[in-house]
Amino acid sequence: MSLNSSVYHFLDANLIMYSLGGPHPLKAPCINILRKIQSEDILAVTNTEVLQEILYRYFTIGKAEVGEKAYRSMTSICVNVLPVKIADTDTALELLKLHQSITSRDAIHAATMINNNVKEIISTDSHFDLIPQIKRIDPTIFK
| Residue 68, number of CB atoms within 10 A of its CB | 14
pLDDT band for position 102 (50/70/90)?
very high
Q: What is the pLDDT of the chain when averaged over all its residues?
A: 93
pLDDT given for residue 7 in this prediction: 85
Q: For residue 140, list its beta bridge partners.
A: none
Classify burial at 2, counting beta carbons within 10 Å of its beta carbon; exposed 0-12, middle 13-18, buried 19 or more. Answer: exposed
| Alpha-carbon span 135 to 66, nearest angstrom | 29
Q: What is the pLDDT of residue 4?
A: 45
Bridge partners of residue 44, in order along the sequence: 9
pLDDT at 3 over 80: no
Integer angstrom CA distances of residue 80 from 45, 71, 77, 101, 108:
5, 14, 9, 29, 17
Q: Tell which CATH classification among 3.30.420.10, 3.40.50.1010, 1.20.120.530, 3.10.180.10 matches the domain 8-137.
A: 3.40.50.1010
Residue 97, Cβ neighbours under 10 Å: how many? 9
Q: What's the pTM value of the predicted model, to 2 decimals?
A: 0.92
- Scanning the chain, the segments in alpha helix (DSSP H) are 13-20, 27-38, 48-60, 64-77, 86-98, 104-115
Across residues 50-77, what is the average pLDDT? Answer: 97
Question: Which pLDDT band holds residue 143 (cuts at 50, 70, 90)?
Answer: low
